[in-house]
Structure 1
Amino acid sequence: MGDFGFKDTFSSITSEALLEALIVVVAASFLIMLMQRLIPAFAGKVGGKIRLYLLASVPLLRLLIIVLTIVTVVPILVEPSFENMVAVFGALGLALGFAFKDYANSLIAGIVTLYEMPYRPGDWIEVNGQYGEVRSIGTRAAEMVTLDDTVVVIPHSLLWDTLLANGNDGTDNLMCVAELFLDPNHDVARIQNLFRDAVFTCPLTKTYQPVIVTVSASDEAMRYRLKAYPLEPREQARFISDLTARAAAVCANEGVRMVSRQLIAPA
C-alpha cells in the first residue's frame, strides 16, 4: 500500500509503448502547429464574419486535439482500468496543483475562456489599458496586437478580477469615434449636418450601419463626436484619421476655429 499502486499502474510501460506515445504526441504537435499557421493565413485572405469564425475555431480545434491526444496516449502507457486511471490523474492533479499553481490557474481560466468566449481571435479588446486585436488564444494566455503593432500577452487568469472591454464581440461591427473641439461661436445644427455628410463620403464607412454625430457644450468649446462603423475593424485607425481630416476640412470651409483639447479645463 506504500506505493499507492503506482508500481502496478506503470508496470505495463515498455520502450515500444513510450515510442508509440512519443509518435502520437509529435504528430499532434505537428498538427497543431500546421493548423495555427494555415487557418489564420487563410482567414487573413477573407474578410467579414468568415474571418472571425475561422480565427475563433483555432483555439477550439487545438483544445480538441490536446484532449484526443491525452485520451490516446494514456491507454498506451497505462492499462486502462479504473484503479490505474484514478492513480494517474490523481498524481497528475497533485503535481499540477503544487508545482504549477499559477499555470493551472491560467489553464482553467483558458478553458473557461473557450466556453464563455469573452473574447475570440479577431476581437478588439482593452485589458489593463492595452487595446488591440486578439491574434491567438493559447492554453495559458492570449496574444493581442495593438494598433502600434506591439504584441501583448494576456494571461487568462486576468479574467477573474479584471474588467475587459470588447469592441466588436465576435462580429465585424466595431464602432469608431472621431472627436473634435470647436469654438462655440458657430451654427451647431449646420456643422452637425455637415459632419454627418462627411462621414458618409468616407469610402471606409459601413453606410448601412448607424452614423451618429453628437455634440456637447462647455465654456471653452463645443465637443463633437463622429460615431460610425468601418468596413473592416482592422481599418479603424485609418478610418478615424479620415473622418478627422474630413471634419477638419468642413471646419476650414465654414470658417470655424478648432480648439486644442489641451486648452480645455477639466470639468
Structure 2
Amino acid sequence: MPELPNSPEQVSSVFRQFDDVDFLLILGIAVASYLAIVTSRWCATWLTGRLPTRFRFYILPWIPLFRILFVLTAISQIVPLVIEPTASNLFAVFGAASVAIGFAFKDYVSSLIAGIVVLFERPYRVGDWVSIEGHYGEVRSLGMRTVNLMTPDDTMVTIPHNSMWSSAILNSNGGRRDMQCAPKFYVSPTHDGDHVRQKLLDVALTSTYLHIDHVPVVVAKQLPWATQYTVRAYPFECREQFAFITDLTLRGNAALRQIGIKLLVAPPSITQSAEL
C-alpha cells in the first residue's frame, strides 16, 4: 500500500510546481462545467414548457444527475493539472482529503451521499408532491445536498437529503401527473346512507377537475359522534389538487344541505390530531 507523505519534501513532490500549473486551463474547465450545468437546466426547463405535462416527470429528474456528472468530470480533469498523476500521489491526496472532509463536514457529506441515493432509489423527484419532516409541497429542484419544496402558501423550503435517514417521506403521486384527493364530510348518523353516498358521488363525477380515467369512490366510516364520508377522487393534474378539493367540498356541502342532511364539525381534538 502506498505510504502517505509525512514530510515537506514528500508533500511538495505530490503537487506540481507552481509555475507548471496551468491556472487558465483550470479556470476554463470550471467555467465550462458551470455553463454545462446551467445549460442543461435551462434546456430541461425549456423542453418541459413545450412538451405535454406528463413529460415533466421524466425530464426534470435528470437535472441533478447531469449536474453530478459535470462536476465529477471537471474534478477528474482538474486534479491531474494540480498533482503529479501517479498512483501513490492520488492515493495520498484523496486519502488525506477523505479523512479531513469526513471529520469537518460529516453532516454535509452525509447529505451528499443521501443525494446520490435519491438519484437511484428516487423516493422523490422533481414534480412530486411530498411531505418531509412535516413540510408538504411540490419538489421544485433537487440539489446535490438538498431538496427544495414549494409549499401551498408559496414558501420555498430547503431540506437536506440526509433527513431521509431518520424520517418518513410521504409521496402523494410518485412520479405520476395525478394524485388522490380525499375531502371528508361529517354528517349526523340519522340519515339515508345510500342517498348521501350517491349525492357525493354525483358531485365528484360532475367536477370539471376530475380525471375521468379514475372512477371516484365514496367511503363511509362510523365515528362515535358522526358518520364520516370520504370522497376519494383524482384531479387531472397534481397542481389542481387544492382547486379540486375546494370544488368537491363546497359543492358537496351544498348538495347535502339541499336534501336536508345536517352537517357536523369535527371536535377540536380530532382536528388537532389530523394536523399533527
Residue number among 3, 6, 24 corresponding to 1:2 in the alignment: 6
Shift of 1:33: 2.6
Q: Which stretch has the larger CA shift, 176-185 or 69-78?
A: 69-78
Structural mapping, 1:181-220, within 5 Å: 181-220=186-225
- Partner Cα separation in structure 1 for residue 85 and residue 270 of structure 2: 72
Q: Closer, same or farther in 2 for the Cα pair 1:219/1:115, shift >3 Å?
A: closer
Letter paired with 1:223: Q
1:222 match? 227
Identity of aligned residues (%): 35
SS at match of 1:176: coil
1:238 match? 243
2:107 match? 102
Pair 1:153-2:161 in alignment: no
CA contact (8 A) 2:21 2:82 kept: no
RMSD in angstroms over aligned alpha carbons? 2.1
- Partner Cα separation in structure 2 for residue 176 and residue 6 of structure 1: 62
- Partner Cα separation in structure 2 for residue 256 and residue 100 of structure 1: 61
SS at match of 2:210: coil
CA-to-partner distance for each residue in 1:9-32, whole Å, 9 max, x for gaps? 212554651221111112211221
Residue number among 240, 245, 252 corresponding to 1:247 in the alignment: 252
Q: Which stretch has the larger CA shift, 134-143 or 216-225?
A: 216-225
Pair 1:76-2:92 in alignment: no
Unmatched 5+ residue regions in structure 1? none
2:96 match? 91
Shift of 1:265: 6.9
2:170 match? 165
| Number of matched pairs | 267
Shift of 1:39: 2.1
Q: Closer, same or farther in 2 for the Cα pair 1:41/1:255, shift >3 Å?
A: farther
CA contact (8 A) 2:183 2:245 kept: yes
SS at match of 2:60: helix
Structural mapping, 1:124-143, within 5 Å: 124-143=129-148
CA contact (8 A) 1:107 1:139 kept: yes
Letter paired with 1:19: L
Unmatched 5+ residue regions in structure 2? none
2:119 match? 114
1:28 match? 33
Shift of 1:263: 6.8
Q: Closer, same or farther in 2 for the Cα pair 1:265/1:68, shift >3 Å?
A: closer
- Partner Cα separation in structure 1 for residue 55 and residue 256 of structure 2: 39
CA contact (8 A) 1:12 1:79 kept: no
Shift of 1:152: 0.9
Q: Closer, same or farther in 2 for the Cα pair 1:264/1:99, shift >3 Å?
A: closer
CA contact (8 A) 2:130 2:137 kept: yes
- Partner Cα separation in structure 2 for residue 173 and residue 265 of structure 1: 28
CA contact (8 A) 1:220 1:264 kept: no
Given the two structures, how large is their TM-score scaled by the length of structure 2? 0.89
- Partner Cα separation in structure 1 for residue 54 and residue 93 of structure 2: 43
Moved segments of 4+, more than 4 Å:
44-47, 263-267
- Partner Cα separation in structure 2 for residue 106 and residue 161 of structure 1: 12
Q: Closer, same or farther in 2 for the Cα pair 1:74/1:99, shift >3 Å?
A: same
SS at match of 1:154: strand
SS at match of 1:256: coil
Q: Closer, same or farther in 2 for the Cα pair 1:6/1:210, shift >3 Å?
A: farther
